[in-house]
C-alpha cells in the first residue's frame, strides 16, 4: 500500500478547510493524461466522509457507528485494498455499496467488498446494461428508477437519476449531513472533461449538471480530478456551455472541424487541468456529439424516421 503524492493531497485538504468562496483546487499540475489505477490512497474530507483513490479514479467512504457505505469498487485490486483499510482503520462492517453508473472501469471488483448483509445498490439502467453485456459485475441487490435514500447510523445518502449524461444509470450522490455531493464522470472540477468526451450525452450532461447545482452541497468530490466546491461545479457548467455554444456557432457558420478548433476561444479556462492537452479533443468531441445527434436531429432536412 502507498499514499499518492502526499504534498498535493494535503494541499487539496488545506484549500478545502479554508472554506467556501475559495477557488476550487486546480489540477493543472496533475499527471493524469491517461487513467492509471495502481496507487491507492485514502484521505479525509469531512468528519465521517473519506475519499479513496486508485490512481486517477476516486470513490467515497461514509463511516458511521452502524457500518460503512462505499461507492464504486474501482477494480478488484482497489476493492481488496479498500476492504483491508476499512477493517484496519474503522473496525466497522461494510453495509452498502453504491454504484455511480454502469462503466466497468468504476464498477468492477465489487466481489471483494461482498459479505453477509452487504447491500449493493445501482440504478436500474446500470443493472440492465450489465445483464445485456454479461458484465462480470457484482450485481445489485436493490435498484431504483428515480430516487433512493440510504439511511445508516444517523446519516442519509440521497441517490438521484438525472437522465442520460455519461454511461447508463448515472446518479448523483448527496451525503446530506456531510454537505457533500459526489458525481462520477459527468462532472469534473479543476480539470477539462475527458479527451473527446467518450460516452457523453452533451445536452444530457448539461441538464444533469444544472440539476446537480440545484441541490444543496458545499463540497464536491469527483470520481476523477479534484475535490472542489459549488463554484467549481458552476465553472464546469460554464465551460460546457461555452464549448457547446462556440462549436455550434462554428457548425452553423458552415466551418469544418479544424477551422472551429482554431476559432473557438476557451482561454478563460486555460488554468484548468489538461487544458493544453485536451482543448482540441474536447472541441472535436463536442463537434461529433452535435453532428451525431443534438444538432443533426434538429435540422428540418434530416428525416426523423431513421
Q: Please identify, using beta-carbon distances, which residue of 152 and 165 lies nearer to Zn ion.
A: 165
Of 72, 70, 69, which is closest to residue 103 (Cα–Cα)?
72
Q: Please identify, using beta-carbon distances, which residue of 195 and 255 lies nearer to Zn ion.
A: 195
Of 228, 218, 207, 220, which is closest to residue 161 (Cα–Cα)?
207
Residues in contact with Zn ion, counted by CB under 5 A, come to a total of 1
Interaction mask 136-175, Zn ion, x per CB under 5 A: ----------------------------------------
Output the smallest distance, CB 193 to Zn ion, in A: 11
Output the smallest distance, CB 106 to Zn ion, in A: 6
Output the smallest distance, CB 208 to Zn ion, in A: 15
Q: Please identify, using beta-carbon distances, which residue of 127 and 185 lies nearer to Zn ion.
A: 185
Output the smallest distance, CB 199 to Zn ion, in A: 9
Q: Please identify, using beta-carbon distances, which residue of 69 and 107 lies nearer to Zn ion.
A: 107
Output the smallest distance, CB 274 to Zn ion, in A: 14
* Distance (Å) of CA 186 to CA 96, 102, 182: 23, 13, 11
Strands 219-222 and 180-183, by their bridges, are: parallel
> Which residue among 165, 178, 185, 229 contacts Zn ion (CB under 5 A)?
185
CA 286 centroid distance within chain? 18
Q: Please identify, using beta-carbon distances, which residue of 86 and 187 lies nearer to Zn ion.
A: 187
How many CA atoms lie within 13 Å of 54's alpha carbon, on the beta-carbon side? Answer: 21
Q: Please identify, using beta-carbon distances, which residue of 106 and 155 lies nearer to Zn ion.
A: 106
CA 235 centroid distance within chain? 15
Helix (H) or strand (E) run with residue 159 in it: strand 155-161
Interaction mask 205-244, Zn ion, x per CB under 5 A: ----------------------------------------
Question: Which among 5-13, 20-28, 179-187, 225-233 is the span making contact with Zn ion, rule CB under 5 A?
Answer: 179-187
Cell of 211: 440539476
Question: Which among 132-140, 148-156, 185-193, 288-296 is the span making contact with Zn ion, rule CB under 5 A?
Answer: 185-193
Question: Which among 6-14, 132-140, 177-185, 201-209 is the span making contact with Zn ion, rule CB under 5 A?
Answer: 177-185
**Any residues with CB less than 8 A from the CB of 228 and at least 6 apart, and which?**
24, 25, 189, 190, 219, 220, 222
Question: Which among 13-21, 172-180, 182-190, 276-284 is the span making contact with Zn ion, rule CB under 5 A?
Answer: 182-190
Q: Please identify, using beta-carbon distances, which residue of 152 and 184 lies nearer to Zn ion.
A: 184
211-248 burial, b for 16+ CB within 10 Å, e for fewer?
A: ebeeeebebbbbbbbbbbbbebbebbbebbeebbebbb
Give the bridge partners for 200, in sequence order: 166
Of 243, 236, 123, which is closest to residue 187 (Cα–Cα)?
236
Contact 206, 246 (CB under 8 A): no
Site of interaction with Zn ion (CB under 5 A): 185
Amino acid at each position: 500500500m502507498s499514499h499518492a503524492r502526499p504534498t498535493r493531497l494535503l494541499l487539496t485538504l488545506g484549500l478545502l478547510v479554508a472554506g467556501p468562496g475559495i477557488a476550487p483546487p486546480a489540477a493543472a499540475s496533475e499527471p493524469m493524461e491517461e487513467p492509471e489505477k495502481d496507487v491507492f490512497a485514502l484521505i479525509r474530507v469531512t468528519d465521517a466522509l473519506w475519499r479513496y483513490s486508485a490512481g486517477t479514479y476516486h470513490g467515497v467512504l461514509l463511516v458511521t457507528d452502524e457500518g460503512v457505505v462505499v461507492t464504486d469498487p474501482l477494480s478488484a485490486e482497489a476493492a481488496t485494498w479498500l476492504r483491508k483499510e476499512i477493517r484496519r482503520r474503522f473496525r466497522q462492517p461494510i453495509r452498502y455499496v453504491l454504484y455511480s453508473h454502469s462503466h466497468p472501469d468504476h464498477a468492477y471488483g465489487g466481489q471483494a467488498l461482498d459479505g453477509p448483509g452487504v447491500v449493493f445498490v445501482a440504478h436500474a439502467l446500470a443493472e440492465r446494461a450489465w445483464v445485456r453485456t454479461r458484465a462480470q459485475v457484482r450485481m445489485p441487490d436493490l435498484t431504483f428508477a428515480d430516487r433512493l435514500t440510504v439511511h445508516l447510523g444517523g446519516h442519509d445518502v440521497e441517490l438521484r437519476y438525472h437522465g442520460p449524461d455519461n454511461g447508463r444509470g448515472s446518479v448523483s450522490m448527496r451525503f446530506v449531513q456531510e454537505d457533500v455531493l459526489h458525481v462520477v464522470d459527468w462532472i469534473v472540477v479543476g480539470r477539462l472533461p475527458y479527451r473527446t468526451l467518450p460516452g457523453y450525452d452533451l445536452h444530457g450532461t448539461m441538464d444533469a449538471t444544472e440539476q446537480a447545482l440545484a441541490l444543496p452541497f458545499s463540497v464536491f468530490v469527483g470520481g476523477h480530478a479534484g475535490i472542489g466546491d459549488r463554484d467549481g461545479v458552476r465553472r464546469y457548467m460554464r465551460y460546457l456551455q461555452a464549448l457547446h455554444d462556440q462549436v455550434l456557432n462554428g457548425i452553423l457558420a458552415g466551418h469544418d472541424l479544424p477551422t472551429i478548433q482554431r476559432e473557438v476561444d476557451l482561454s478563460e479556462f486555460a488554468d484548468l487541468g489538461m487544458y493544453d492537452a485536451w482543448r482540441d479533443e474536447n472541441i472535436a468531441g463536442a463537434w461529433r456529439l452535435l453532428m451525431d445527434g443534438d444538432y443533426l436531429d434538429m435540422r428540418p432536412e434530416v428525416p426523423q424516421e431513421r
